[in-house]
Amino acid sequence: MKTFAVAAFTAALVATTAMAEGPRELSAPIVAFTPVIVKNADALNLTEAQRADLKQWTSTMPAKRKAIEEEARQARAALRQAIVDGAPQTEREALAQKVGQMETRLVLMRSACADHWREVLSEEQFAQMVALYQAQ
């Protein structure tokens, strides 16, 4: 009976947390530089080549990120359901590992984004962008 009560409590906690988190159920970004660059393109004195890169980046990368976020949401939903259903521990552990892998992919994707902007922007522009980011 005690095991059932703990399992029921855990399932309720997971469900409640999921409902409270809503669309923010994924980890918040470690950094989010692109919106700062978009918002401050003139203040950063972006060159035409940098503006073209920014336009290309913003036309392709959000869709890639959203696709990985959707995979992560699906992995979380599968784990949530496995917990609620009382799936075997090994199955839940495998699903939890998948969630962790997806979260890691998202973090590394944002890390690659920061590296991209380090290459595209001059050192001065990058430092100015970081200052604008931190001032938010």
pTM score, two decimals? Answer: 0.73
User: How distant is the alpha carbon of residue 123 from its chain centre?
Assistant: 26
18/101 Cα distance (integer angstroms): 19
15/21 Cα distance (integer angstroms): 10
Closest CA to 38 of 119, 117, 118: 117
- Using an 8 Å Cβ cutoff, are 86 and 7 in contact? yes
71/125 Cα distance (integer angstroms): 34
Q: What is the pLDDT of residue 8?
A: 43
Average pLDDT on 12-23 reads 45
What CATH number is given to the structural domain containing 121? 1.20.120.1490
Which residue would you say has higher pLDDT here, 77 or 8? Answer: 77
Local confidence band at 24 (pLDDT 50, 70, 90 cut-offs): low
Average pLDDT, whole number, for the chain? 86
Which residue would you say has higher pLDDT here, 26 or 96? Answer: 96
94/98 Cα distance (integer angstroms): 6
Domain region containing 84: 2-134
Checking if the pLDDT of 135 tops 50, the result is: yes
Q: What is the pLDDT of residue 30?
A: 84
- Using an 8 Å Cβ cutoff, are 117 and 54 in contact? no
Per-residue pLDDT tens over the stretch 58-88: 999 999 999 999 999 999 999 999 999 999 9
Q: What is the pLDDT of residue 25?
A: 66
Which residue would you say has higher pLDDT here, 27 or 68? Answer: 68
Which residue would you say has higher pLDDT here, 61 or 6? Answer: 61
Number of domains in the chain: 1
